[in-house]
Structure 1
Amino acid sequence: MNLSQQSHIKLYPLTIRKDKRHYIVEDSLSGDYFEMPKICIEAINLMNKGESLEEIEKKLVATFPEEEVDMVDFTSQLIELGLVKEIDGEIVQITKENQSPASFIGISPRVGKFFFNKVTIILFIAIFFMNIFLFAMDPVLLPYYQDLFLFDTMMFNMLTFMAITLFLIFMHEFGHVLAMRSYNLPAKLSIGHRLFFVVFETDLTPAWRLEPKQRNNLYLAGMCFDQIMLFIALCIKLAFPEDNTLLTGIAGIVILDIFIKFIYQCSFYMKTDMYYLFENITGCYNVMENGKQFLSKGLPFLKTDKTTEMFDGERNIVRLYSLFYIFGILFTITLFIFYFLPQGVFALSQTLPNLLRPVGSIAFWDAVVFVGQFVLLICFLCYSWMKNR
């Protein structure tokens, strides 16, 4: 199969949408999405009209005199992306597998729109500021690490915290799912990681079919549900200020957990919800990958992604983000080495000997629960790493 200036190209069905800076191209068969500048879109349109690469190149040079145009090279890139179906009538052999999520389609879009519409968006914003107001008016509501120790027995504390955390994670991710369904889009839940933190995540890839403003709602949906849960917990604490009951204790754990997760979401040197919101607002996509490429010039050991590149006008945003990224990574690694790791080692050194205690003792079961939780997190982390590789 020879590719030359005289070649005629037939592409697979593509859907092209205008975005903030450039265009989003959707491969309808594979479910993949690509960002391309206007010159690439013009080239694709001319290919679909049946013109040769030589004819297309001449027209593009005339229309975009400031751009360097090489249609053979561009077509080679399209082949690598799996977008070319035929070259001069000869089929390009490629296996396409649809990667688009297809879960939760049983949830009616009406249910999604009940939770996410113009009225509820205003309500979510009001609840967010109400929560800030409540913290400002009564600083006692601020979380403390002692809130974790609801029971005298550590085993019950850990099991309670795990149950509450899993419930809040489910509510957060279900917020994303309902927001996707409000636009009649599918979603998928999976396990991933951010550095060495295990996370549950919702695949929002089909959101590229929407306008940038609409995508903001999807990225913030999980945090919107977090704010509702936080508001309920704060109201419980305010309703029973002196009552040290199980209900107020659970409310305290909810407040602590959401407070920590909000700080985590703001750490968008990792791919958190706020990271995707930052990308969407600036219109500078793959900013982390481009930031790594920028940093790799001075840090050659840094792993980079060769499948992406900076477009014109993105350099300043990428430079600023790359500085934030490197300081954030160093800060997290420092915390891990000098804070989390010593705590984990100390906790294991205190807990592991208890596995030799009698089976009927509380200390033995404390150790079983703690070690079980630790092993479970390690398994999730290894699974996520292997999945990415």
Structure 2
Amino acid sequence: MDLTLQSKFTLYPLSIRKDQKNYIVEEPVSGDFFEMPKICIDAIDSINEGHTLGDIERELQEKYPDETVDMIEFGEQLIELGLVKEVDGEKMTQKRETQALDGFTWIPSSVGRFFFNGMTNKVYLILFLISVSLIVWNPGLFPHYQDIFLFDSMMLNIITYMLISLVMIIIHEFGHILAIRSYDLPAKLGIGNRLIFVVFETDLTAAWKLAPRQRNILYFAGMSFEQIFVLIALSIQLLYPEATTILIGILGIIVLDIFIKTLYQCCFYMKTDVYYFVENITGCYNLMESGKQYLSRWLPFLRSDSSDTEVFDGEQKIVRLYSVFYIVGILLTFSLIIFYFLPQTYYAYSQVFSNLFRSTTPSAFWDAIAFLGQTILLLILLLYAKIKTRKVK
């Protein structure tokens, strides 16, 4: 459809709310949210008043003399976003999907508010500080890379760690779900993947209905909920050192798992919970893309589609500061690899090869065979994932 300056639009009902710097526009039927500056909101208001694109363009040029105003281009963007119902009386034919807003609504909002309210949010911070204090005063509680080796069998160690890690992931995501239910909003728990690993992901899209300060609670909810289990695990280890080896070992794995995942949340080159918190408080909702664009001047391998990301006025300093944390996040990842993942890998495979060539029992030999078999399977899946990704690109 060819637009002209004489064209008039009829938009679908929109919900518009002031955010940090710009405005959040919600299309209620599809459940989509868009960030727009003030000039776009003024254009939408004029469209709803029945003005032609040409009249709106002249009006905005007078009001915003330093801005480039092109209502034809803006109109095409509105059509592409699915926000336009009619153009010059002709209905748009694009398919609009209704988003199901019923995820976890069976959980009463009162239950969510029990776990996440003005008081408990402070309690979670106190729990975190207590846990840190216990580790500082008792260095033996600090998670060690060997904590995952609870049994002589490497396969049993891997299975135990994976099960505990899975339970902790579900607890983490359930924290997000309870937090958003405290505002009587829905959430969706999906299954995604990073490389070859299956992960759970909570869709908090509905959080855009909330004020920025309220969204912060949702982003930290997973880590906040974990603090209960960290403190319990540390307290039992400290108060009952004579407990069974299995129990102490499982508690150690819980602390190690949450410790690593907490550091992982601080890896700003990925969109983690802490990243979304920083993005939210700064109001720079393309922070990663803008940061990569800035860093690509010195690190060409970061250059991608993000090279066309627009940096709004006043965001340059924030982007530069984020770029520093982006690099720190990469260094933090290398630290995890050096102090945890590489030592774990070396220890595991040294034990496996020892059992493979110098085993004293058949069970140790076959455990080594099974462990190497799953290693080969993981490498094949990793290679397949990389090949598939390249084909998609």
Q: Partners of 2:325 and 2:91 in 1: how far apart?
A: 46
Q: Partners of 2:84 and 2:300 in 1: how far apart?
A: 34
Q: Deviations over 1:229-253 (max 9, x none)?
A: 1000011111112445322221111
Q: Partners of 2:92 and 2:307 in 1: how far apart?
A: 23
Residue 376 of structure 1 and its aligned partner are, at CA, apart by: 6.5
For the residue of structure 2 that corresponds to 1:279, the secondary structure is helix
Q: CA 1:72–1:379 in 2, change beyond 3 Å: closer, same or farther?
A: same
Partner of 2:322: 321
Partner of 2:311: 310
Report if aligned partners of 2:267, 2:326 keep a CA contact under 8 Å in 1. no
Range with greater deviation from structure 2 (339-348 or 200-209): 339-348
Q: Partners of 2:174 and 2:340 in 1: how far apart?
A: 32
Give the AA of the match of 2:286: N
Q: CA 1:327–1:131 in 2, change beyond 3 Å: closer, same or farther?
A: closer
Name stretches of at least 5 consecutive residues in structure 2 with no aligned partner: none
State, as a whole percentage, how many aligned pairs show the same letter: 55
Give the AA of the match of 1:169: I
Partner of 2:188: 188
Partner of 2:35: 35
Residue 315 of structure 1 and its aligned partner are, at CA, apart by: 1.5
Q: Partners of 1:347 and 1:211 in 2: how far apart?
A: 48
Partner of 1:114: 114
Match of 1:361 among 360, 363, 370: 363
Give the AA of the match of 1:83: L
Q: Partners of 1:346 and 1:96 in 2: how far apart?
A: 54
Determine whether 1:265 maps to 2:265.
yes
Q: CA 1:331–1:245 in 2, change beyond 3 Å: closer, same or farther?
A: closer
Q: Partners of 1:383 and 1:97 in 2: how far apart?
A: 32
For residues 12-161 of structure 1, what are the structure 2 equivalents within 5 Å? 12-98=12-98, 102-161=102-161
The total of aligned residue pairs comes to: 386
Range with greater deviation from structure 2 (329-338 or 225-234): 329-338
Report if aligned partners of 1:192, 1:384 keep a CA contact under 8 Å in 2. no
Report if aligned partners of 1:195, 1:270 keep a CA contact under 8 Å in 2. no
Q: Partners of 1:180 and 1:300 in 2: how far apart?
A: 39
Residue 367 of structure 1 and its aligned partner are, at CA, apart by: 3.9
Give the AA of the match of 1:290: S
Residue 331 of structure 1 and its aligned partner are, at CA, apart by: 6.8
Q: Deviations over 1:307-352 (max 9, x none)?
A: 8522211122112223432564477479879996898699679869
CA RMSD across the alignment: 3.5
Partner of 1:167: 167
For the residue of structure 2 that corresponds to 1:189, the secondary structure is strand
Determine whether 1:294 maps to 2:299.
no
Q: Partners of 1:213 and 1:378 in 2: how far apart?
A: 45
Q: CA 1:351–1:4 in 2, change beyond 3 Å: closer, same or farther?
A: farther
Q: Partners of 1:100 and 1:313 in 2: how far apart?
A: 37
Range with greater deviation from structure 2 (360-369 or 5-14): 360-369
Q: Partners of 2:298 and 2:84 in 1: how far apart?
A: 37
Partner of 2:256: 256
Range with greater deviation from structure 2 (291-300 or 105-114): 291-300
Q: CA 1:371–1:181 in 2, change beyond 3 Å: closer, same or farther?
A: farther
Give the AA of the match of 1:316: K
Partner of 1:240: 240
Give the AA of the match of 2:84: V
Q: CA 1:371–1:263 in 2, change beyond 3 Å: closer, same or farther?
A: farther
Report if aligned partners of 1:198, 1:377 keep a CA contact under 8 Å in 2. no
Report if aligned partners of 2:267, 2:332 keep a CA contact under 8 Å in 1. no
Report if aligned partners of 2:180, 2:204 keep a CA contact under 8 Å in 1. yes
For the residue of structure 1 that corresponds to 2:86, the secondary structure is strand
Q: Partners of 2:263 and 2:298 in 1: how far apart?
A: 30
Residue 291 of structure 1 and its aligned partner are, at CA, apart by: 1.9
Q: CA 1:100–1:26 in 2, change beyond 3 Å: closer, same or farther?
A: farther
Report if aligned partners of 1:6, 1:52 keep a CA contact under 8 Å in 2. yes
Q: Partners of 1:178 and 1:385 in 2: how far apart?
A: 34
Q: Partners of 1:164 and 1:383 in 2: how far apart?
A: 31
Give the AA of the match of 2:365: A
Residue 274 of structure 1 and its aligned partner are, at CA, apart by: 0.4
TM-score computed with the length of structure 1 as normaliser: 0.87
For the residue of structure 2 that corresponds to 1:361, the secondary structure is helix
Residue 200 of structure 1 and its aligned partner are, at CA, apart by: 2.5
Report if aligned partners of 1:194, 1:270 keep a CA contact under 8 Å in 2. no
For the residue of structure 1 that corresponds to 2:254, the secondary structure is helix
Q: Partners of 1:330 and 1:132 in 2: how far apart?
A: 22
Q: Partners of 1:336 and 1:130 in 2: how far apart?
A: 27
For the residue of structure 1 that corresponds to 2:305, the secondary structure is coil
For the residue of structure 2 that corresponds to 1:241, the secondary structure is coil
TM-score computed with the length of structure 2 as normaliser: 0.86
Give the AA of the match of 1:176: H
Report if aligned partners of 2:151, 2:157 keep a CA contact under 8 Å in 1. yes
For the residue of structure 2 that corresponds to 1:269, the secondary structure is coil
Partner of 2:278: 278
Q: Partners of 2:83 and 2:202 in 1: how far apart?
A: 26
Q: Partners of 1:14 and 1:375 in 2: how far apart?
A: 50
Q: Partners of 1:287 and 1:345 in 2: how far apart?
A: 37
